[in-house]
Amino acid sequence: MSDIKTGAETLITALVEQGVEVIFGYPGGAVLPIYDALFQQNSIRHILVRHEQAAVHAAEGYARSTGKVGCVLVTSGPGATNAVTGLTDALMDSIPIVCLTGQVPTHLIGQDAFQEADTTGITRACTKHNYLVKQVNDVSGVVHEAFLVAATGRPGPVVIDLPKDVLMNKTDVYKKKSDVRRPSYKPRMKGDLAQIEKAVEALSQAKRPIIYAGGGVINAGPAASQLLVEFTRMTGVPITNTLMGLGAYPASDRQFVGMLGMHGTYEANLAMYNCDVMLNIGARFDDRITGKIDEFSPNSTKIHVDIDPSSINKNVLVDLPIVGDAAHVLEDMIRLWRSKALNLDAGALKGWWEQIEQWRGVDCLGFSQAKGEVEIRPQHALKRLHELTKHRDDVLISTEVGQHQMWAAQYIGFEKPNRWMTSGGLGTMGYGFPAAIGMQIGNPGACCIDVAGEASILMNIQELSTAVQYRLPVKIMIINNQWMGMVRQWQELLHGGRYAESYTDSLPDFVKLAESFGAKGIRATKESELDSAIQEMLDSDVMTIFDCCVTKDENCFPMIPSGKPHYDMLLPGASQEKVAAAIQGEGLALV
C-alpha cells in the first residue's frame, strides 16, 4: 500500500527514517511547505535560530559532539547565502551536515525570481556534494543518498535544494534507505594490508618515532580514539594531536607531548622536526602544522593514514601512504604489531624520551600570574577553568577564533574525543556560540561552554535569543581583552606595531547585554574574583555570559611565525632580536 504524500511530507518521512531528531532552521516563503509538514508531526524537533549561519554552526556542534549527522533547514535566496559560511566551515573541518535549502518553483528557476539564488552553483565549492531536486518522485532517494554521502568516507556538508513546487506536488513514490544505491560513490574504509604491514615495520625500526593524530581519528568514532590509545601505549611512542584532534588521546597521559603547530608546544614541534619515523593518522599536513614546508621534518620516513586519497601527497610527499578509515587501519596495526611481536629498540626510545623531557623542561606554556597581581592573565583564566572542570566528565568546549581559541587549546586538557569543538580549517569567528547551542541540544545534561573573544562573540550574539527560548544553560566565557587580540599580536610582531582597526571601540556591557535577552551576566575584573565567577558560571542553570576581563596586550606563545621552520619558535618572553627576525622574510606574505 502506498500513501500519497506531498514532497514536504515525503521529505519528513525520509528524515525520520534517517533518525533525524532535530533540525536547526529558519523559515521563509520557499520552505513554508516543509514548515507546514513539520508543524503536523512530533518526531522531529525544530530549533529556531536567529541567523542561518548559526543554524549550520549549531548543526556542526551537534554533529561533532554526538557523532550524528547535523540537519539544517533554510529558505531560498538569502537563507541559502547566509548558510554558505557554515557550509564552508563544515567542509574544511569534515563535519557531516545535510542542509535543506528552499528554492523558487521549477518554472521560475533562472528568471531572477524573488529570493532566487543559484544555490547549487554557489555551494558547489563549499559542499561535499549537492542536489537540485527537480521531481517530487526523487525526494526520498535524494535524502537518503545525501545522508550517505555526508556521513561516510571523509564526512562533509551536503546541500539539497528543494523547489517549492517539488515540495507541494504529490507522490506515492517512497524509496527506503536500504533501496538507495550510488555505485559511483565508494569510499575506501580498509587500508591496504601490505602497506600497513610496511608501516608497522618501519615504525618498529625507528629510533625517534612520533605519532601525529588529527581530526580524522575523531571522525572515525570513539572506537578509533580507543584504538589510538591502545596502539600508542603498546608501542611507547610519543604522541601529539592537531587542533582538530585534541581529545583523541588523553591530554594528561605521559606519552602526550601536547598540541603541535603554529601555537603548539615546543616539545611537540621539536619532536616532529627531529623524528626519524612519523606516523600521521587522520591529519592533513596543514600549513599551520608544517610551518616552512621544505624544512618540515626533513629526516623522517613519513607514514600517512587518511580516508581521503586527495589529502595524501598534497602538501608533503610521504613515503608510505595508506588510504583508509583511522579505526580500521589502527585495528590492523595493533593486530600486526602483536602477531609480529614487534618492539622498538628500548635503548633508543629511552634516549628519545630523555630528549623530549628536556624540551618539555623549557615549559613553553609558562606564563606569570604573579602572586597578588590584580589583573587576570588570559592564560590563567583558562587554566583555572581547566582546574575547576577537570574532575568532571560532562564538559564540552567550543571556541570562537583568535588568541582565546589557542589558549583554550593549550590550557584545557581533553581526555576524550568529541569534547572539543573549534573552527580549525576555516577559522570562523562566530562559530563557537551557535556550536555550543548545538552541543547543548545534543547533550542536554552536559556543561557546554563557548570560550569566546569579545570581538568574535559579536558575530553571532543574536543567538542569545535562541538559547533563552529553548532554556539552554549554555555558558559563554568571554576572554575580554578589548582587542582583536590575534590581529593585534600579528600587527605587533609583523607590522611594526601599527594597530590598524584591531581595537574594538564601543563594546557593549556584556552583563547588561545578557540580561536584556533574559540571560544571566557575570563579570570579573580582578584575579581575586576569578574562581568564584567561573564557579558561578558553571553552577548556572540558565544561559550565562561570563565577561572575564583580562590583561589587554598579552601575546599567544609559543608561536612559529608563518613561513618559519619548527625550530624557529618564539617562546614566551622571546628576545627582541628573535621577534625582529620573525618580521623579515617572505613569511610576511603568508597568512
Partner 1 sequence: MSETRTFAVLVDNEPGVLARVIGLFSGRGYNIESLTVTEVDDDANLSRITIVTDGTTQVLAQIRNLLERLVPVHRVEDLTAAAEGRNMEPPVQRELALVKVVGAGDKRVEALRIADIFKAEVVDTGLGHFVFEIKGRKSQIDRFITLMMPLGLTEICRSGVIAVSRGDQAL
Positions marked active-site: 52, 114-115, 164, 486
Say which entry of Mg ion, partner 1, ligand TPP, none residue 440 contacts (CB below 5 to 8 A, set by partner kind). Answer: none
Q: Looking at 422, 481, 489, 555, which residue binds Mg ion (CB under 5 A)? A: 481
Amino acid of residue 283: A
Say which entry of Mg ion, partner 1, ligand TPP, none residue 456 contacts (CB below 5 to 8 A, set by partner kind). Answer: ligand TPP
Quote the CA–CA distance of 266 and 363 in Å, as a whole number.
Answer: 8
Q: CA angle 15-18-19, nearest 5°?
A: 95
Residue 470: name the closest of 500, 496, 437, 514 by CA. 437
Residue 557: name the closest of 263, 240, 269 by CA. 263
Say which entry of partner 1, Mg ion, ligand TPP, none residue 185 contacts (CB below 5 to 8 A, set by partner kind). Answer: partner 1
Nearer to ligand TPP, 369 or 481 (CB): 481
Minimum CB–partner distance for residue 513 and Mg ion (Å):
16
- 455 lies in the binding site for ligand TPP (CB under 6 A): yes
Say which entry of partner 1, ligand TPP, Mg ion, none residue 429 contacts (CB below 5 to 8 A, set by partner kind). Answer: ligand TPP
Q: Cβ neighbours of residue 326 under 8 Å, at least 6 residues apart?
A: 216, 217, 219, 220, 224, 227, 228, 281, 282, 305, 307
- 9 lies in the binding site for ligand TPP (CB under 6 A): no
Q: Considering only residues 131-150, where is the footprint of partner 1 by CB under 8 A?
A: 132, 149
Pair 276, 299: CB distance under 8 Å = yes
The site string for partner 1 over 95-134 (x = CB under 8 A, - otherwise) reads -------------------------xx--xx--xxx-x--
Part of the chain binding partner 1 (CB under 8 A), chosen from 4-12, 16-24, 76-84, 181-189: 181-189
The 8-class DSSP code of residue 587 comes to G
CA dihedral 172→173→174→179, nearest 10 degrees, is 150
Start-to-end C-alpha separation, the chain: 60
Say which entry of partner 1, Mg ion, ligand TPP, none residue 427 contacts (CB below 5 to 8 A, set by partner kind). Answer: ligand TPP
The site string for ligand TPP over 376-415 (x = CB under 6 A, - otherwise) reads ------------------------xxxxx-----------
Say which entry of ligand TPP, Mg ion, partner 1, none residue 235 contacts (CB below 5 to 8 A, set by partner kind). Answer: none
The 8-class DSSP code of residue 138 comes to G
Minimum CB–partner distance for residue 485 and Mg ion (Å):
4
Q: Is the peptide bond before 417 cis (omega within 30 degrees of 0)?
A: no
Q: What share of the chain is helix, strand, coil (3-state, %, to 5)?
A: 45, 15, 40
The whole-angstrom distance between residue 340's C-alpha and the CA centroid of its chain comes to 37
- 555 lies in the binding site for ligand TPP (CB under 6 A): no
Task: Using CB under 6 A, list all residues that contact ligand TPP.
Answer: 400-404, 427-430, 453-456, 479, 481, 483-487
Task: Using CB under 8 A, list all residues that contact partner 1.
Answer: 120-121, 124-125, 128-130, 132, 149, 182-185, 308-310, 312-314, 317
